[in-house]
Structure 1
Amino acid sequence: MVLYDKFEKESGKDYAYRVLRENIMSLELNPGELLSEIELSEKLGISRTPIREVLMKLKSEHLIEVKPQSGTYVSLIDLDLVQEARFMRFTLEEKVLKLACENFSEELFVELEKNLYAQQIIADMDGGEKEFHKLDNHFHELFFLGVNKENVWKSILNISTHYNRMRILSQAEDSKRDVVEQHREFIEVIKNKNIDRVESLISEHMRYTKNSWEHLLKEDNESHNFFKINK
C-alpha cells in the first residue's frame, strides 16, 4: 500500500479514506485482497474505530466487501457495474461532444491539446499506465467542463469505480499510441465542428475499449481472478 502526504488540516479519518480509496482505484491493493483493520490502523496511524468507519464508507461505494466469518476484502471488479458505467459514460459523452461541436471553451481546448501532448510522451515510454490513465480520464473530463457539465462528469466518476479499475488493468497491455490517435480525432472533431462524425467516433471508441479488456477475462490470464463474473 502506498502512503501519501497528509493534507493540511486533514483529519485522520479523511486521510485514511483518501489513501485507501486511491490504493484500491490504482490497484496498489488488488481486487480480492484481504484487509486487516489492525494492520491498516498501524500503517495509517489512527485507531481502529475510524478505520472501521472508512471501510464501511468504501463498502457503500462497492469498493470493499465484508464476508461474515471470513474478513474484509477489496471488492472484485464486477462486470455488471463495469457495463453500467460504460453505458452511462459513452451515452452522455456523445451528447457532450455534440454540444462541444457547437460551442466549446477556447481555454479548455488548449488544455485538451496540452493533455494530448502529455499522452504522447507517456505513450512512448515503458510503463506509465497509471499516469496515462489519469491523463486519459482528465482528457474526457475536459469535454464536460468545456460545455459546463462538470456535475455530470462527477456522476459518471461515482459510478465508474469498477470501470476505471478495469481500464487500468487493460492499459498495461493496450497500445497507448492507438488511444492517442483516437484522442487526436476527438480534438479534430471539436475543432472542425464535425458533429456528424460524433456518433461513429464514440462507437469506435466504445468498441476499442471493450475489445481491449476481453483477454483479461480468459482463465489463463493472471488477472482472471480479479473479476466477479455474474451468471
Structure 2
Amino acid sequence: MTFRLVPGQSLNENELSELMHVSRTPVHEAILMLKEESLVDVFPQSGSRVSGIDLETLNEGLFLRLQVEPVIISQTAGNLTKEQIVRLKENLEAQETAALQETYLDTFFKIDDEFHRMIYEFAKKARVWRAVRSVCSHYDRVRYLDAIDTKANIQIFVEEHKTIYSSLLSGEIVDFDFPKFYEGHLATYRKHFRQMLEKYPEYFNL
C-alpha cells in the first residue's frame, strides 16, 4: 500500500518470517489475505509478488465511493449526536497534527480513513464501509503514490475534511454542488495521473 514493497517485487515467505520474527504460517496466511485484496499475485510453485495497480479495479473503487459517500453524508448531516461531533472534531485535530509531522503520510492516511469510517458508522452503515474497503485497495495505492510523488500539501485535505465536518454539523449540503466537491476530494490524483503512468509504467497493469 505504501510502496515500501513496489509492484512486481517478489515476496519470499522465509525472508519475511525472519524479518518480522514470526513463523512462516502467519506470513503465508497474510499473503493469502493480501491476494484476496488484489494486492499480491500468487503463482503456484513459483512464489508470489506485489501486484501491479489494475486500472479497472482503481476505477471501480473510486466509482463506489463517489456513489455511496455523498448519499451517506446527506442522510447523516444534521443528525449527529454530541458524542459523534466530539469524535469527528478530535479526528480533525489529529489530522492537523499529522500534517505537521515529517512522517505524516502513513499517519495521516490512517486518520483520514478513520474520519470516513466514522461517518459510515454514524449512518449505521459500518458493513457498507467494510464492503467499500474491500474494493478500494488499488484506489488507495494510487492516492498514496500521488501524495508521495507530488509532495502533496496535506493541509488541503484537512481543509476539505473540515468542509465535510461543517456540512455534517449543519446539514447544509444543498447550498453548493456537494457531489462535485466530493469528487474533487476523492479524485485529486487525476490531476497527475498521466504523469504517474509515464513515470512509473512498471507499477501499472496496462
Shared fold by TM > 0.5? yes
> Is 1:118 aligned to residue 94 of structure 2?
yes
Maintained 8 Å contact 2:62/2:186 = no
**Aligned-partner Cα distance in 1 for 2:15–2:191:** 35
Structure 1 residues 52 and 185: CA distance shift in structure 2, 3 A: closer
Maintained 8 Å contact 1:104/1:147 = no
Structure 1 residues 208 and 104: CA distance shift in structure 2, 3 A: closer
What is the RMSD of the two structures over their aligned residues, measured on CA atoms? 2.4
**Aligned-partner Cα distance in 2 for 1:103–1:150:** 17
How far residue 227 of structure 1 moved from its aligned partner, in angstroms, is: 2.0
Identical residues among aligned pairs (%): 30
**Aligned-partner Cα distance in 2 for 1:56–1:138:** 25
**Aligned-partner Cα distance in 2 for 1:92–1:75:** 27
How far residue 70 of structure 1 moved from its aligned partner, in angstroms, is: 5.7
> Is 1:174 aligned to residue 152 of structure 2?
yes
How far residue 102 of structure 1 moved from its aligned partner, in angstroms, is: 4.5
**Aligned-partner Cα distance in 2 for 1:203–1:98:** 14
Structure 1 residues 122 and 50: CA distance shift in structure 2, 3 A: closer
Post-superposition CA distance 1:3-43 (Å, at most 9, x none) = xxxxxxxxxxxxxxxxxxxxxx3333222211113322433
Partner of 2:50: 74
Structure 1 residues 84 and 139: CA distance shift in structure 2, 3 A: same
**Aligned-partner Cα distance in 2 for 1:59–1:224:** 22
How far residue 91 of structure 1 moved from its aligned partner, in angstroms, is: 1.1
Partner letter of residue 157 of structure 1? R
> Is 1:37 aligned to residue 19 of structure 2?
no
> Is 1:85 aligned to residue 69 of structure 2?
no
**Aligned-partner Cα distance in 1 for 2:29–2:155:** 42
How far residue 52 of structure 1 moved from its aligned partner, in angstroms, is: 4.0
How far residue 60 of structure 1 moved from its aligned partner, in angstroms, is: 2.7
Maintained 8 Å contact 1:115/1:139 = yes
Maintained 8 Å contact 2:160/2:185 = no
Task: Find the residue that maps to 2:6 and give its secondary structure.
Answer: coil
How far residue 89 of structure 1 moved from its aligned partner, in angstroms, is: 1.2
Structure 1 residues 180 and 44: CA distance shift in structure 2, 3 A: closer
Query: 154, 177, 183: which one pairs with 2:130?
Result: 154
Q: Which runs of 5+ in 1 are unaligned?
A: 1-24
Task: Find the residue that maps to 2:171 and give its secondary structure.
Answer: coil
Partner of 2:169: 191
Task: Find the residue that maps to 1:153 and give its secondary structure.
Answer: helix
How far residue 85 of structure 1 moved from its aligned partner, in angstroms, is: 0.9
Partner of 2:180: 203
How far residue 129 of structure 1 moved from its aligned partner, in angstroms, is: 0.6
Task: Find the residue that maps to 1:103 and give its secondary structure.
Answer: coil
Maintained 8 Å contact 1:78/1:162 = yes
Maintained 8 Å contact 2:142/2:189 = no
Partner letter of residue 187 of structure 2? K
Structure 1 residues 209 and 42: CA distance shift in structure 2, 3 A: same
Bigger drift between 62-71 and 101-110 goes to 62-71
Structure 1 residues 55 and 100: CA distance shift in structure 2, 3 A: same
Partner of 1:63: 39
State TM-score, norm by structure 1. 0.76
